[in-house]
Chains A and B, each alone.
Chain A
Amino acid sequence: MNWDAARAMAIIAGHAGREGATLPILHGLQDAFGHVPQEAVPLVAEALNLSRAEVHGCLTFYHDFRREPAGRHVVKLCRAEACQAVGADALHAELRAAYGVDWHGTTADGRVTLEPVFCLGLCANGPAALVDGEPVARLDAARLATRLERA
């Protein structure tokens, strides 16, 4: 959704009283807006009595937080060893070629973003992925395509 300062302030206020509130707030903002808009950074800093640099530092440290909108579907592909052992590297090369994007890239039509992830805990049933936040095991290109069509 588009930037909405009032909505952002409400999300921040909802967590600001908690111990160590930065991550819950950043998660809340990303859940609402699909990414953490730059406009939110000073608001978070103000609410938590932090400098903007500290909030920026936190925001950019963690792989989860996105500063730009993603595609309509986010596919996180597990690149860790257990999935490598069952052919994940070749699958990822195939998918990146098929979708025409590299890691973190979004297809030209804005439909799919491919992201790397290191381990989803589906290590006996790889290759594994999270498709729009839902786990998928024994992934191949056809299974992903079916999954994205249904979504």
Chain B
Amino acid sequence: MTRLFLPRDSVAESLGAGAVARALLESAQRRGQPVTLTRTGSRGLLWLEPLLEVETPEGRIAYGPVGPEDVEGLLDAGLLQGAPHPLRLSRPEDMPFLARQQRLTFARCGVIDPLSLAEYRATGGLRGLEAALALGGEAVVEAVAASGLRGRGGAGFPTGIKWRSVRTAEAARKYVVCNADEGDSGTFADRMLMEGDPFTLIEGMAIAGLATGATQGYIYIRSEYPLAWRSLNAAIAAAEAAGLLGASVLGSGREFRLEARLGAGAYICGEETSLLESLEGKRGIVRAKPPIPALRGLFGRPTLINNVLSFAAVPWILAHGAAAYAECGMARSRGTMPFQLAGNIRRGGLVELGFGPTLRELVEEFGGGTRSGRPVRAVQVGGPLGAYFPERMLDLPLDYEALAGAGGMLGHGGIVVFDDTVDMARQARFAFEFCAAESCGKCTPCRIGAVRGVEVIDRVIAGRQPARNLALVEDLCEVMRDGSLCAMGGLTPLPVMSALTHFPEDFGRGAAPLAAE
């Protein structure tokens, strides 16, 4: 019996993996060649999806990208023995894109059956939770703090401090909430983990429940991720059946229940207080802080709210020790970050590394430059609210402080590459347009500012009094940055102003001086 592995990740599925799986099973059966096919998550080498692997005495051999039309030829060539074929690559772990990574959080993603608890355990799963049960809540919070882990959703707030605040809050009921509303363009790490290794997230949240005294957890996942929604629900059901969740977590007598909730297409619900409103069944309107959610969060109760990747880092930290995690990284950014290469990129995908690689290493060495083959002109780091950097700034190291120091933000680690055909005035306009579409409407700078921003940029693009209108844009950005209630309005000026600062030539287009100016 030969074992085959093929991702069921959204990217693989969106490129025909389902048809490849059917063709493989049919053809192998017709040939009388016994095979089993395990549907895994993705390794994150997304330009090679669907990436098929076959188990051989030398290890797993990868072939890709495989389409359904390739299946007969692959089997003819001796796929099941790992034989040569134009699509044959090598062992995945020998491919430079993977070999150079530090896969801690994503160690199992693409390797195991995401819904098999047996495979999860066999690859080190649940060791973090078992360690946490032995240590007790106080020591768990200490370990999370000592690891240096900071919120991977984008804000970079020290996770240990948040956990301690919820642990020490007095209340009859507390909540643990996972922010899986990964709305930033250019990011997909949360999705990959929920599809490829959901038990790691569940384990991390169970540890958080034990450490903070919360008995109920919610995962708020965006509706744009239908496959992750399905895999997460299946994983939660499997975890309940195995006693990993429920009235007595792993027989400890400690209760922790978990439920996934589906968002409804509002980007703003990735903002934590808006997310809590949405979970409560209301419009996703941002709340003023204080009070912080750690003290008054979901339904007014103390609530620990973290991103998927923050929770998913915790099992490794508990299993291997805080010091081992803190050894990775640079300066005040400790541990690993799953960076995501996206947009116009030749080799797009997930790159988990200790903090500190430069943008150039990621975009050029891992990514291989643009997909179009044209020169890189701009990269946007950290989603739609992140800054655009020009090619000459690619030597910036990726850590929280370095990016902030350069007028940007790391955010959730997404890097979107643009080639030299990009019009940065259009990108600045889009930043305002997006903010106008997604603003919750509670505060005036964001609600009105975004609409005004589109209007003013349109005048610049049309060449009407560009100097005066650009001064107005700058003024507007200052108001939005300083006066908005949350990061939506507060950070929209980042892409706008970075585009203006680094690409002024794009804002002079059609700017023939008008008589009125």
Q: Is the CB of B343 within 8 A of A85?
A: yes
Q: A62-B264, A63-B264, A122-B11 are in contact. Are A81 and B284 (CB under 8 A)?
A: no
Binds A, one of B114-122, B411-419, B486-494: B411-419
Specify which chain B residues have a CB less than 8 angstroms from the CB of A23 in the assembled complex. 261-264, 278, 281
Residue among A19, A54, A117 with the highest chain B CB neighbour number at 10 A: A19
Residue of B nearest to A19 (CB): B299
Specify which chain A residues have a CB less than 8 angstroms from the CB of B15 in the assembled complex. 125, 137-138
Q: Is the CB of B280 within 8 A of A121?
A: no
B106 adjacent to chain A (CB < 8 Å): no
A26 adjacent to chain B (CB < 8 Å): yes
Q: Is the CB of A125 within 8 A of B11?
A: yes
A105 to B192 alpha-carbon distance, docked (Å): 32
A119 adjacent to chain B (CB < 8 Å): yes
| Interface SS of chain B | mixed
Q: Is the CB of A64 within 8 A of B223?
A: yes
A84 to B182 alpha-carbon distance, docked (Å): 18
A9 adjacent to chain B (CB < 8 Å): no
Q: Is the CB of A62 within 8 A of B416?
A: no
Q: A84-B430, A124-B342, A125-B46 are in contact. Are A63 and B265 (CB under 8 A)?
A: yes
A121 to B282 alpha-carbon distance, docked (Å): 25
Task: Indicate the size class of the contact surface on chain B.
Answer: 35 or more
Binds A, one of B82-90, B183-191, B310-318, B397-405: B183-191
A86 to B422 alpha-carbon distance, docked (Å): 10
Separation in Å of the B375 CB from the closest CB of chain A?
13
Q: Is the CB of B283 within 8 A of A128?
A: no
A105 to B345 alpha-carbon distance, docked (Å): 32
| 25 A-B residue pairs with CB within 8 Å | A19-B279, A20-B281, A20-B299, A23-B262, A24-B262, A62-B284, A80-B434, A81-B185, A82-B342, A118-B437, A119-B183, A122-B188, A123-B185, A123-B416, A124-B340, A124-B341, A124-B342, A124-B345, A125-B47, A125-B348, A126-B343, A130-B226, A135-B227, A136-B14, A138-B15
Q: Which A residues fall within an 8 A CB radius of B?
A: 19-24, 26-27, 48, 54, 57-58, 61-65, 76, 80-86, 117-126, 128, 130, 133-138
